[in-house]
A and B are shown apart, each in its own frame.
Chain A
Amino acid sequence: MNRPLNLRRLLACLNVSVFAPELDKPLRNAADETDIPDKTRQAMTFALFVLSFGLLTLYCFYDFAAGERLICLLSAIGTAGLLFPPKGFPHAPFAAACAALPVFAAARDIAVLFGHDIAGGTPSAATIVLQAMLLLVVLWRDMEIKEKICALLLFAGTAGLLSVFGTGCAAALVLLAAAWFADDFPLGVCAVLLFGSSFAAAILNMSVSLDAAAMTALLSGIAFKIAARRLKGMN
């Protein structure tokens, strides 16, 4: 049975020497902090920030244009902080901020479904493209040629989702990709739930005939089932 990778081996893999004199103090500081229950503190911080951003989303519906720009700004910072955890800042607020845009977009899609006339979406779309490009740029250096082609196809797929299903689905997909690359599993679960709700709202919001919507849902269902089969076969 394989032993789980510990921090020492991980640092060694990344050419970071734990014997370096300049790392002595940071390592001692990090070791001193381990007594605090890590998961509880992170979960509480994450919950606090999710609550704050949820309330902010609610507030944004009173002044939609300004609120959307604020959420986009926060989400972009959150993604950058999630992919490059900055020195001296905790991880949880960035993860929560990263989820702000998909939550906002899903809330808008659901509000439109219930008859609220909300326009806009350009700043959201621009932020999603920016986040996807950030991911692409960050990962480009470590990719092989096949992976680069796959990444470009995924990027095109995100753009397609943006044009067909709106910002909610695309924002959730980008969040899922960011969560996967940063290995933030709870954020990944949030992304999947947001994708599901945005997708359902998008299909019901489509300005097409019922037959066309039914056909879209059936085709999407078949595509999802094929994807599930493929993922099962990869075991």
Chain B
Amino acid sequence: MRQVDNLKDKGIAVIVPDKKTEAFLNRPATAGSVARLCRDGILPSVDYLRAAALFRNDEKWRRLCRRAAAVLGELSLIAGLLLFCLNHSAFFTTTKALYVLFAVFAACGCANGIRPQTAGSVVLGASVFLTDFVFATGTPLCAELFLWASLQILWDARVKRFYPSFGVLNAAFAACAVQAPAAVSVLFFIGWIAADAALIFIHYLCVKRGKK
């Protein structure tokens, strides 16, 4: 207020904001509120970007760009691999493809983290289906899914997180119900529920032991 008094002494007309204007001026600066300052003619339009530079939360923007780049990167890599596989589909009818998949699976096993673990799960499933495709065994889909589920449980035991196993196991039971409706009985559903319950119990035990 001393500054205001000094200006008044010099004969300069000064308006002191009232309480409502004070409350408005104490609001945090955001893109919307600063745009309103421009709209009402308080801030010159040419200064809007300068004002935005003063209150911009760079960390929030960096996080957005980092996440976008990471997701786009992963999707691009997966798309690249898929396109490559599509163009060389003949290769996937040979036993060499199985060796390649086993090598990739071994590499996934050597690495830690959620991504190698997920990639390992996908490679495991691909190996099961490819084995049937290469050797033309004619195994039904549900049997292949049960084989994948049992291998997946062993793979997930490594990190003590059984979510993918849960998905594959339920897919196997569902496929069984669709492929062989005659086999579906009360016992089948009891077995399905028991298998799920056993998996959830193992998961619970692992989580509990992990917390200790």
Given A8-B26, A218-B81, CB of A30 within 8 Å of CB of B36: yes
**Interface residues of B, count at CB 8 A:** 69
Closest-by-CB residue of A relative to B85 is: A214
Contact status A183-B31, CB under 8 Å: yes
List B3-60 residues whose CB lies under 8 Å from chain A. Answer: 4, 7, 13-18, 20-21, 23-29, 31-43, 45-57, 59-60
Contact status B55-A183, CB under 8 Å: yes
| C-alpha spacing A209/B34, complex, angstroms | 50
Contact status B55-A10, CB under 8 Å: yes
| C-alpha spacing A218/B23, complex, angstroms | 54
A86: CB under 8 A from chain B? yes
A215: CB under 8 A from chain B? yes
| C-alpha spacing A142/B34, complex, angstroms | 19
| SS of B interface (majority) | helix
Closest-by-CB residue of A relative to B55 is: A5
A182: CB under 8 A from chain B? yes
| C-alpha spacing A31/B24, complex, angstroms | 5
Question: Which of B66-74, B92-100, B102-110 binds A?
Answer: B66-74
B200: CB under 8 A from chain A? no
Distance (whole angstroms) from the CB of A209 to the closest CB of chain B? 8
A11: CB under 8 A from chain B? yes
Given A83-B48, A211-B84, CB of A90 within 8 Å of CB of B66: no
Question: Which of A55-63, A122-130, A222-230 binds B?
Answer: A222-230
Given A38-B32, A228-B69, CB of A7 within 8 Å of CB of B61: no
Closest-by-CB residue of A relative to B77 is: A221
| C-alpha spacing A33/B13, complex, angstroms | 26
Contact status B80-A215, CB under 8 Å: yes
A85: CB under 8 A from chain B? yes
B119: CB under 8 A from chain A? no
Contact status A184-B31, CB under 8 Å: yes
Given A203-B79, A217-B79, CB of A6 within 8 Å of CB of B26: yes
Seen from chain B, the residues whose Cβ lies within 8 Å of a Cβ on chain A are: 4, 7, 13-18, 20-21, 23-29, 31-43, 45-57, 59-62, 64-81, 83-84, 86-87
Seen from chain A, the residues whose Cβ lies within 8 Å of a Cβ on chain B are: 4-11, 13-14, 16, 18-21, 23-24, 26-34, 38-39, 42, 83-91, 138-139, 142, 180-185, 188-189, 192, 195-196, 199-200, 203, 209-211, 213-218, 220-225, 227-228, 231-232, 234-235
